[in-house]
Amino acid sequence: MLYLIVYCISYYLIAGVAIVIGYHRFLSHRSLKMKKWFEYTIITLGLPAGTPIQWAGNHRYHHANTEEETDPHSPVISGFWYAHTGWYINSYNPVLCFLYAIAGPLRIIIDSWLRPRTNQQFNYLAEDVIADPYYSFISKPFPYMIAMWINLVMFFLPVYYFWGASGLLSIWFTLILIYNFGDAIDSVSHLYGEQPYKKKDEARNGWVMAIMTLGDGWHADHHQFPGSARVGFKKGRFDISWYIIKLLVYFGIAYDVKVTNGKSITRQLKNDQLIMINNSLLTESE
């Protein structure tokens, strides 16, 4: 049982790093660069999140139109369930949205068909991603479907082999957590939490979300400074992904890391309140 727990936690962390650092901070916001072998590896591991082209284009459009009528997934505009999972399947039906949310590995199978074919209207914002031959190839319907099935077999078959039905249930639950905490960035983190900045949109900071999403739950910080590879600016706030990025820099895997300037943060806070900024934030890159 201990080994099963370790396996599920490892799976959660691998998925988290692939999505938060790979898809989000690198692919969508270009807040760091990585060695190609590592870049392609983590993006491939994160493919259940969506095709690289669609994910980056959609996310960039969301930042440019947050909480506006055209925002692809604003809970303020479209309601909680549509923002959480409904926009994936083009449904406002809360029952369908809930069933999709708990589908786990079945969601990977569904998405292997849907994701390269739906929500493609913002791909024009991901020209840099399209220009990469690998991302262009893997975002096509058939290659993406095959990659998704391989991902499913690669992680689920060992669990079934070693732990049987209990193993499958455990990793099913783990995958539900991975998907839903990622989805909650679009829904929960635009409804609940702290807004430390002069109001720009409804993005909010939250401790639970930050822990469970490896730092992305400092969502108000991210929306205020989307090009920064670090969020969680207030002293004592833990951005796990930032420390992983620093580790990657140490080993020469990541470089040209961008972080926001401490003075810029102070200028944009509500009521001119002051926060403690670590020295590592006082430069634009390191």
Distance CA(93)–CA(97), nearest Å, equals 6
Q: Report the percent of the chain where pLDDT is more than 70.
A: 91
Residue 120 lies in a domain: yes
What is the pLDDT, as a whole number, of residue 269?
66
Look up the domain containing 81 and give its range: 2-202
Residue 246 lies in a domain: no
- Looking at residue 263, its amino acid is K
Residue 180 lies in a domain: yes
Residue 277 has pLDDT above 60, yes or no: no
Residue 69 lies in a domain: yes
Task: Count how many domains the chain has.
Answer: 1
Residue 231 lies in a domain: no
Predicted confidence (pLDDT) per residue in 195-253, tens digit: 888 777 899 999 999 999 999 999 999 999 999 999 988 888 899 999 999 999 999 99
Residue 265 lies in a domain: no
**8 A C-beta contact, residue 191 and residue 157:** no
Which tops the pLDDT comparison, 153 or 279? 153
Residue 168 lies in a domain: yes
Residue 209 lies in a domain: no
Residue 11's contacts (CB-CB under 8 Å, 6 or more residues apart) are 155, 171, 174, 175, 178
Least confident of 43-57, 81-95, 229-243: 229-243
Q: Give phi and psi for 255, each to the nearest 5.
A: -160, 175
